[in-house]
Structure 1
Amino acid sequence: MVEPRSPMKTIKFVDEYCQWYKKLFSDVRSFEAFKYLHIGCISELKRKTLPEIAKIVGLDNQQGLHHFLTKSPWDIEKLRTLRLELILEILKGRPIILIIDETGDKKKGNTTDYVKRQYIGNLGKVENGVVAVTAYGVFCGMTFPLLFEVYKPREKLKPGDKYLTKPQIGAILIRKLQSMGFKFNLVLTDSLYGESGTNFISVLDELELNYLVAIRSNHSVDLLKGQYTQYLKWQRFKRVFSDLSSENRFIREIIHGKREEHRYWQITTDTENLPGNSTWYVMSKYPDITHREVGNFYGLRTWVEYGLKQSKNELGWADYRFTRYEDIERWWEIVCSAYLMVSLHSEQMRPSPGETQSQFASHPWWDNGKGWKNILNNLRLIAQPFILFNLIYPWLTVFPISQLSSGFSKLQSIIYNLTSSIFIFLTHPDFYFSSA
C-alpha cells in the first residue's frame, strides 16, 4: 500500500493553525487547498479571487481551489464546530462580549441565492445584495468570529427553507453558542434587534443575559395612570476608543414611570442640539450599571462593527464568485477561520506566551501596534518570502538563476524555523484527547 504523501509546507503559522482541522479532509490535496485559501485570505491581494490566490500560492491554475469549495466532500458543520471548540479551549470558561449584527454585500443580477433589493448596512442604503446575520465575540478588546447565517427573504425561499426574521436568526445563534458552552457577560446589538420585542429581547431575558441594545428615539413604553417620564441630568463621561484616545460625551437616564430592570438612556455629543447623527438611544438590562459603563459599552459596539467591516474587507468576505449558497457558505467559513487565525496571534488570545519575534521586529516594516490590523500586517510580512517566490518562479523557468532560487529557499527556511509557535498546544496529545 502506498503511503499518502505529506502536505506541502507553506508558512509555519498557517501550517500549524490548519493542522487543527486536518482530520476533516480525506485527501492531502483538499488539506493543501484549505491552507492555500487561508494564505490567500490574509494576503495583500485587493480582490481575493481564486485565480489570483492560485498565483500567490504557486498553483498552475485555480481548479483545485474551485473544486475544494464546490465539490470536495468536507463537512462545513464539522469545520465550524472545530473552530468554535478551539475558541472555547482558549477562553477556558471566561465570558466574552457578544455582538449580533448583520453584514450585507452588493451583488449584481438575480442568479445568486437569496439576493434581493434590501437594506445593506455596509452601504447604508437599499441595494441588490445578500445579507447575513453574524455573531462576533470580543475578549479583552480582541474580536473573533463565531457564527453567521444568511438571511433568506420570503420571495427567495427555496424548497425546504423556512422564513426567519433577522432577530429570530440572531436569537437562534445565541442559543446555539450557549449550548456549546460559550458564556456572555454582555450582548450588544443595534436597534433592529432592540425593537424586535418577543423575537429577540424575550430570548435574552429567558436566557438571563445582560444586554445593551440600541432603540429608536420614538421607542414607546406603556405607562400606568398617573405615571410620567423623567429625564435625569446630563452626566459627562469620557468615551475611550480602541486606540485609547478619548473625547467628552454626555449621557442621561430616561425613567418611564419607575425604574425597572430595563433602563433607558440617551447619549449625545451635544446636549443643546441633540444632532441626529451623534445622538443615540439605548436600553439596558445590566444590574447596577453606571452611566459611564453604558456610554463606553455602547461605543464598543460602534467601533467593533467598524473594525469588523474593515477586517472582513481585508479578508475578502464579499469576493466570492459563486451563485449557490452552499458554496458561498463554504467561502465565508474559510474567511471566518482566517480571521480567527489572525486573532489568535494577539496577546489577549494567545494560548501560550511564545517567544518574542525579536529578529522579525527589526524589519523596517514591522508593525508594533496591538490591534487586529497591526497583527495582520505582521503576518503578511512573514508570508512575503513565500508569496513573492511563487510570483517570481515563472520567470525562473524562463531565465534560470540558481542563486536567486536558492536564496529564496534559504530565506523561506530561515523564516519558517524562526517563527515562534503560538499553536504548540494544538500538537499536544493531551489536548487532542480532551477535545476528541
Structure 2
Amino acid sequence: MVEPRSPIKTVKFVDEYCLWYQNLFSDVRNFEAFKYLHIGCISDLKRKSLPEIAKIVGLDNYQGLHHFLTTLSWDVEELRTLRLELILEVLKGRPIILIETPPLRTGTYETGDKKKGNTTDYVKRQYIGNLGKVENGVVAVTAYGVFCGMTLPLLFEVYKPREKLKPGDKYLTKPQIGAMLIRKLQSMGFKFNLVLADSLYGESGTNFISVLDELDLNYLVAIRSNHSVDLLKGQYTQYLKWQKFKRVFSDLSSENRFIREIIHGQRGKHRYWQITTDIENLPGNSTWYVMSKYPDITPREVGNFYGLRTWVEYGLKQSKNELGWADYRFTRYEDIERWWEIVCSAYLMVSLHSESLRPSPPPQSTLASHPCWDNGKGWKNILNNLRLVIQPFILFNLIYPWLTVFPIPQLSLGFSKLQSIVYRLTSPIFIFLTHPEFYFSSA
C-alpha cells in the first residue's frame, strides 16, 4: 500500500492553523487547496479571484481550486462546526458579546453582494448594504462575536426571497434567521453576556425579541423614534433629564454624548433610551432610540454598549474589502456557501493572532524588526503583519516563471533561504488547546 504524500508546506502559521481541519479532507490535494485559499484570502490581492490566487500560490492553473469549491468531497457544515469548536476552545467558557446587525441608515442589517443577471441562486433586486441602495444581489444574515476587543466570525445564513425558493426551502424573514442563528450558537455552548441588534430586530416583535426573552438573554436593540408602547388609562410617557457621558471608542478616543431614559407608564423589564450628540437639535443621523433588557444597567453603560454594534460593520467591512467575501464567481449557493465559509475561516485565522486571545504573552520575534511591521493591536494591524509574513512565499511564486526562462541559481537559493528563515521565526497562533495534536511549540 502506497503511503499518501505529505501536504506541501506553505507558510508556517497557515499550515499550523489548517491542521485543525486536516481530517476533513481525505485527499491531500484538497487539503492543499484549502491552505492555498486561506493564503489567497489574506493576501493583498485587490480581487480574490481563483486565477489570481492560483498565481500567487504557485499553481499552473486555477482548476484545482475551482474543483475544490464545487465538488462534494468535503462537507461545509463539518468545516463550520470545527471552526466554531475552535472558537469555543479559545473562549474556554467565557461569554462574548453577540452582534447581529451593522448600523445601516435604512435600519436593515444584512450584508449583500451585487450580482449581474438572474441565474445565481437567491439573487433578486433588494437592498444591498455595502452599496447603500437597491440592486440585484444576494443577501446574507451574519452573526459576529466580540471578545476582548477582537471580532470573531460566527455564523451566516443566506436570505432566500419568497419568489426565489427552491424545492425543500422554507421562507424565513431576516429576523427569524437571526433568531435561528442565536439558538444554534447557544445549543453549541456559546455564552452571551449581551446581544446587540439594530432596528429591524427591535421592531420585529415575536420574530426576534421574544426569542431573546425566552432564552433569558440581556440585550440592547435599536427601535424607531415612533416606536409604540401600549399605555394603560391614566398613564403617560415621561422623559427624564439628559445625562452627559463619554462614548469611548475601540481606539480609546472618546466623544461627549447625551442620554436620557424614556419611561412609558411604569418602568418595567424593557427600558427605553434616547442617545444623541446634540440635545438642542437632535440630528437624525446621530440620534438613536434604544430598548434594553439588562438588569440594573446604567445610562453610561447603555451608551457605550450600544456603540459596540459598530463592530459588526467593522467585521463585514474586513470580510468584504480585505478577504474577498463578494469575489466569488459561482451561481449555485452550495458553492457560494463554501467560499463564504473559507472567508470566515481566514478571518478567524487572523483574529487568533490577537494578543488578547493568547493564553500567554507572545514570544519576541525578529519579524517585528521589519521596517513595515505594524505595531497596532487591531484586526487590520494583525492582517498587515501576516501579509508581510506570506510575502516571500508569494513573491517567489510570482517570479519563478522567469527563473524557468532565465535560471539564476543564486536567486532561487536566496528565496529558498529567506522562506526557510521566515518559516522558522513565525510565532505560533496560540500556545495550547485541549487537543494535543494542536499544540504549537514556540519558534
Fold match by TM threshold 0.5: yes
* C-alpha distance in structure 2 between counterparts of 1:221 and 1:430, whole Å: 55
- 2:398 and 2:442 map into 1 onto residues whose CA distance is 39
CA contact (8 A) 2:140 2:156 kept: yes
Supply the distance in 2 between the matched residues of 1:16 and 1:432 (Cα, whole angstroms).
9
* Distance in 2 between residues matched to 1:108 and 1:176, nearest whole Å: 33
Specify the SS of the correspondent of 1:329: helix
Cα gap change, 1:319/1:402 in structure 2, threshold over 3 Å: closer, same or farther?
same
- Structure 1 residues 144 and 435: alpha-carbon distance in aligned structure 2, compared to 1, 3 A threshold: farther
Does the 8 Å contact 2:432/2:439 carry over to 1? no
Provide the secondary structure at the position in 2 that maps to 1:267: strand
- Conserved in 2, the CA contact under 8 Å of 1:241 and 1:303? no
Q: Which runs of 4+ in 1 moved over 4 A?
A: 430-436
Distance 1:426 1:414, change over 3 A: farther
Q: Describe the shift of the 1:434–1:12 C-alpha distance in structure 2 as closer, same or farther (beyond 3 A).
A: closer
How many angstroms apart in 1 are the aligned matches of 2:163 and 2:439?
45
* 1:352 Cα deviation from its structure 2 partner: 4.5
Give the secondary-structure state (helix, strand or coil) at the position aligned to 1:426: coil
Cα separation, partners in 2 of 1:320 and 1:244, compared to 1, 3 Å: same
- 2:422 — aligned with what? 415
Counterpart Cα distance in 1 of 2:423 and 2:442: 28
Q: Which moved more, 1:424-433 or 1:11-20?
A: 424-433
- Report the Cα offset of residue 434 of structure 1: 19
Structure 2 SS opposite 1:289:
coil
Alpha carbons of structure 1 residues 73 and 336: separation in structure 2 relative to 1, 3 Å: same
Which secondary structure state, in structure 1, belongs to the residue aligned with residue 433 of structure 2? helix
Tell me, which stretches of 5 or more residues in structure 1 are unaligned? none
Distance 1:304 1:244 in 2: 18
Deviation at 1:306, TM superposition (A): 3.2
Deviations 1:140-180 (A, max 9, x none): 11001000000000010001100000000011100000000
* Deviation sequence 1:226-277 (CA, Å, 0-9, x none): 0000111111111111111111111111000011110001111111111111
Deviation string, structure 1 residues 2-57 (Cα, Å, up to 9, x no partner): 11100000000000000000000011000000000000000000000000000000
> Which residue matches 1:44?
44
Contact 1:49 1:320 in 2 (8 A): yes
Equivalent pair of 1:20/1:426 in contact (CA under 8 Å): no
**Counterpart Cα distance in 2 of 1:307 and 1:250:** 27
* Distance in structure 2 (CA, Å) of the matches to 1:417 and 1:398: 30
Contact 2:56 2:397 in 1 (8 A): yes
Tell me the CA shift for residue 423 of structure 1.
Answer: 4.0
Match of 2:58 in 1: 58
CA distance in 2, matches of 1:307, 1:434: 30
CA shift, 1:435, in A, is 23
Q: Conserved in 1, the CA contact under 8 Å of 2:150 and 2:379?
A: yes
For residue 176 of structure 1, the aligned residue among 170, 177, 184 is: 184
Say whether the 8 Å CA contact 1:187–1:212 is kept in structure 2: yes
Q: Secondary structure at the match of 2:141?
A: strand
Change (3 A) 1:175 1:235: same
1:427 CA drift (Å): 9.1
CA contact (8 A) 1:42 1:315 kept: yes
RMSD over aligned CA atoms reads 2.4
- Please, which moves more after superposition, 422-431 or 365-374? 422-431
Structure 2 gaps of 5+ residues are 100-109
- SS, match of residue 354 in structure 2: coil
TM-score normalised to the size of structure 1?
Answer: 0.96
Q: 1:408 to 1:427 in 2, by over 3 A?
A: farther
Counterpart-to-counterpart distance in 1, 2:441 and 2:331? 39
Q: How many residues align?
A: 431
